[in-house]
Structure 1
Amino acid sequence: MIPPAPTVGVRLTERHQRLVEEMEAIFLSEGFRDLTVNDLAARLRCSKRTLYELAPTKQEIVLLVMERWLARVRYMGSLAAAEKLDPADRMQAYLTPGVTESAMASSRFVEDVQSLRPATLLLEAHQRERINVLREIVENGVRSGRFRPVHAHLVAEMCLASIARFNQPEFLRDAGLSFSEAFSELYQILTEGLAPRSGTRRGRRDTSRPSASEKA
């Protein structure tokens, strides 16, 4: 069982936490642009007043749900990475929640995020934080010889640029991929591309603990 993510913003009651989880499932599968607070209250079998206890407007409710979803992705990745010693295993463990937790993200959800600037900014900040941790993992892998001598910052920025494209619905449609499938392909390319070339001297196995930010 995955431990709960650290509290983000206001602390929620058990009832409010359940409502947020149910809204997350609705938003990811159906989007949120066409849903009204009345719609949500009816589907969640609660009052509008209960939802407005979470946030004063529909937009802020959406952002609250997104923020907690993204925080969970980061937390799960950091938790899993902290248990790994080898950089390749650490990278895979850190990135995997980005695939598994976005598996339900529909193209409609992606489109709705792009239509709401605060949601787009929230997603970009989340991606930037994850890429910064990825850069540190790659740097550790290069130092230990587990990865080829690549430019870690460039690798991280290339990954960020790819992820930015995944956030564009037309790209996913043209590629014939879901949000989760695109992430999975990217992570496979990263893992295989960073592996030392055959015959290249490999450094000692990295036995150092993850950096502080990887544990955050």
Structure 2
Amino acid sequence: MTHLTPPGAARTPRQQQLFDELLAHFLGEGFRDFTVDGAAARLHCSKATIYALAGSREELVRTVVVEFFKRVSRGTEEALRGPGDAEQRLLAYLAAMAEQLRPASPRFLRDVAGSPVASGVYERNTRIASTKLAALVAEGVARGEFRPVPTGFIAEVISSAMERIQQRTGMGGIEGPGAYRELGLLIVGGIRAG
């Protein structure tokens, strides 16, 4: 009998392989129509093996989406800690964000926006990212790189724009990496000192 892997517990190599295959499938094809039966057939394993990854379909969706956004976060952290002034790091962070999100198909992002479980994960990660960017803006203000601006407002603007980018709504025909680059240039251009 296959047992549910407790949260935080290490997966077996086979479980990690299946989980990575599910993540790749979700990123490429979305998950709105995902079923455990379909996953078991596609991955050539039993439903019990799938349920060992998470106790229900919704929990599995949440776990996969959380893992994706953890990977996005890890891939963007270096830009925040990297060399350069606040402007360079802000632009590098948003460029890294665009690059990390590149594997996510439009269908995956639509499914994230349409799923209460997944959209909650995205919204939480967006708030965390906008808080980090607001701290970077505050650092730039303190060093005189940026003009004095209300960082809470800047964080809200960034958060709102990132949500719209994810939902692909009202972006004037620009998507993904280009949208993040333009957001960075817009923010930096609006707050640059002098």
TM-score by length of 1: 0.77
Number of equivalenced pairs: 188
Cα distance in structure 1, aligned partners of 2:78 and 2:14: 26
2:39 is matched with 40
Cα distance in structure 2, aligned partners of 1:121 and 1:50: 26
Report if aligned partners of 2:141, 2:148 keep a CA contact under 8 Å in 1.
yes
2:87 is matched with 88
- Secondary structure of the 1:101 match is helix
1:167 is matched with 166
Residue 169 of structure 1 and its aligned partner are, at CA, apart by 4.3
- Secondary structure of the 1:66 match is helix
Report if aligned partners of 2:28, 2:104 keep a CA contact under 8 Å in 1.
yes
Moved more, 98-107 or 51-60: 98-107
Cα distance in structure 1, aligned partners of 2:109 and 2:72: 17
Moved more, 70-79 or 178-187: 178-187
Cα distance in structure 1, aligned partners of 2:13 and 2:146: 44
Counterpart pick for 1:187 among 184, 189, 192: 184
Q: Which ranges in structure 1 are unaligned for 5 or more consecutive residues? A: 1-7, 201-216
Aligned pairs (5 A) from 1:25-104:
25-104=24-103
Cα distance in structure 2, aligned partners of 1:21 and 1:31: 14
Report if aligned partners of 1:88, 1:141 keep a CA contact under 8 Å in 2.
yes
Amino acid at match of 1:65: V
Higher share of residues assigned helix: 2
Report if aligned partners of 1:107, 1:178 keep a CA contact under 8 Å in 2.
no
Q: CA RMSD in A?
A: 2.1
TM-score by length of 2: 0.85
Cα distance in structure 1, aligned partners of 2:167 and 2:123: 13
Amino acid at match of 1:128: R
Seq. identity, %? 35
Report if aligned partners of 1:142, 1:149 keep a CA contact under 8 Å in 2.
yes
